[in-house]
Amino acid sequence: MNKYKLDIEKLKHSPRAVKFWECCLAVFYEKLSSFQSNKPDNTDHETRVNINELTEDEDASTFYLDKAFDYYLIANKHHRSSYEVENNEEYK
C-alpha cells in the first residue's frame, strides 16, 4: 500500500459535511500505510490498537479517535451553525 496522507487544505474546503466515520477511516488508512511489510518488527500479529487498555495517564496521541475528531472539526467548520463553532474551542 502506498503512503496515504489526507490533505488538510482540501479538507478545510470540503464542499459537503463529512461524517465522523469517514474521518476514522482516514486515520486508519494513514496508520495502516505507515507500517512497512518488509520491517522485521511487523512479523508479530499483535493488535496495534487496543482501546480497552487505554489508561488516563497514557499519552492522548496514542488514541486514534482524537485525530479523527480533529479531522472532523476541520472538515465541518463551514458546515456547522455559528453557535456550535463558538462553543467549541477546537473550531477556533
Domain boundaries, the chain: 8-34+59-91
Structure confidence at residue 87 (pLDDT): 64
Higher local confidence (pLDDT), 4 or 72? 72
Question: Residue 68 in contact with residue 27, Cβ under 8 Å?
Answer: yes
Cell of 26: 482516514
Return the HEC string of 15-48. CCCCCHHHHHHHHHHHHHHHCCCCCHHHCCCCCC
> How confident is the model over 13-68, as pLDDT tens digits?
999 999 999 999 999 888 888 776 556 554 555 545 555 665 555 554 556 788 89
> How confident is the model over 5-15, as pLDDT tens digits?
888 999 999 99
**pLDDT-based confidence at residue 69 (cuts at 50, 70, 90):** confident
Question: Residue 28 in contact with residue 71, Cβ under 8 Å?
Answer: no
Residue 80 in this model has a pLDDT that exceeds 80: no
